[in-house]
Structure 1
């Protein structure tokens, strides 16, 4: 059984899901400390003004990097739910499949989970269903900085908002799709961009991602 290990991101890029195509199991890191300025609490969407980050605010942001990821609380004192949903509506309201999925995503947002981990997990499970990726999802039971060779493919912090790794430079896509804005294709966006554009066929755009032995930690 091939297992890929990721941190739990917020509406991650297509490259995240492309990596899962050749895995038998997704293992999510539950025993790390929170890392700022990562996909753990942000995603990138395409608007008429260009690429825009959507960030979920967390409580005690200055101390958040000392908090275990599954205990980190979302800061609802900021009206981020309205801002995120309004941005998604404005950016993707005219796309072919936004209305097809909108209610499912909206229900998760308005349920207001207390913790970032719970919000991200609910969104991830929904996206996996939308992409028709019936992959078992498990969680780490303790922290390991490294894993034995052949045990797991460690993709923690493989994807960052600032830079895609070379092997994900194609955005994890088999081919570009038609986006709502711009003349050229913009890679590295949240998978929501693909999902709202391609609907049930979105999974067919994901490129198979091999699990090279060279990337297995010793």
Structure 2
């Protein structure tokens, strides 16, 4: 059965844990943009605690609805440099930062105009890193609901506000050593797990 998610920026590790056992990933390309979601932000761990990284977008605050796939990235703000510096500061000393850094940096400097394009580029990169051979299919029209027998609808089930809150009967991420603090912090971007575990990352997506 396929699983359906919205487009996310550097998704949380749980996003990828939930792909296991599904024969396709349906990516919602006709939903309306919503603020304060993983569509344009991710969570990383710093020496000051959890830090959100947010991609600024054009027209994200407009009152009328705009499709997520049509939302443009606001490059008038120097967010690429800020995000990259944040990643270097938080993860520069991790075992696998240098292993993945050039690939990630190449995606950033391409500066795609649309948020959806940026998210899709990162998604395809992470699927390769995790060796998840699952086809990604874009939705052709919007449906508020789908028959449960057709697809597992997980749109907007993972949110920054609920990061770290366990969900019953949902797949989770097995705790792993992190760069800061003694207690495991769940809900972080896949980047946190990737930089710490490298090729072994798949073993933590329970």
User: What TM-score does the superposition give when structure 2 sets the normalisation length?
Assistant: 0.96
User: CA contact under 8 A between 1:13 and 1:171: conserved in structure 2?
Assistant: no
Q: Which residue matches 2:9?
A: 10
Q: Deviation of residue 166 (structure 1)?
A: 3.6
> Could you say what secondary structure the match of 1:89 adopts?
helix
Seen in structure 2, the aligned counterparts of structure 1 residues 78 and 168 have a Cα distance that, compared at 3 Å, is farther
State the alpha-carbon separation in 2 of the partners of residues 168 and 154 from structure 1: 16
Equivalent runs, 1:165-180 vs 2, <5 Å: 166-167=166-167, 172-173=172-173, 175-180=174-179
Seen in structure 2, the aligned counterparts of structure 1 residues 131 and 85 have a Cα distance that, compared at 3 Å, is same
Q: Which residue matches 1:63?
A: 62
User: CA contact under 8 A between 1:8 and 1:117: conserved in structure 2?
Assistant: yes
User: CA contact under 8 A between 1:171 and 1:187: conserved in structure 2?
Assistant: no
Equivalent runs, 1:1-218 vs 2, <5 Å: 2-63=1-62, 66-164=65-163, 166-167=166-167, 172-173=172-173, 175-207=174-206
1:39-96 Cα shifts (integer Å, max 9, x gaps): 0000000001110000000012321761111111000000000000000000000000
User: CA contact under 8 A between 2:60 and 2:71: conserved in structure 1?
Assistant: no
For these two proteins, the number of residue pairs brought into alignment is: 205
User: CA contact under 8 A between 2:18 and 2:171: conserved in structure 1?
Assistant: no
Runs of 5+ unmatched residues, structure 2: none
Give the 4+ runs in structure 1 shifted more than 6 A: 168-171
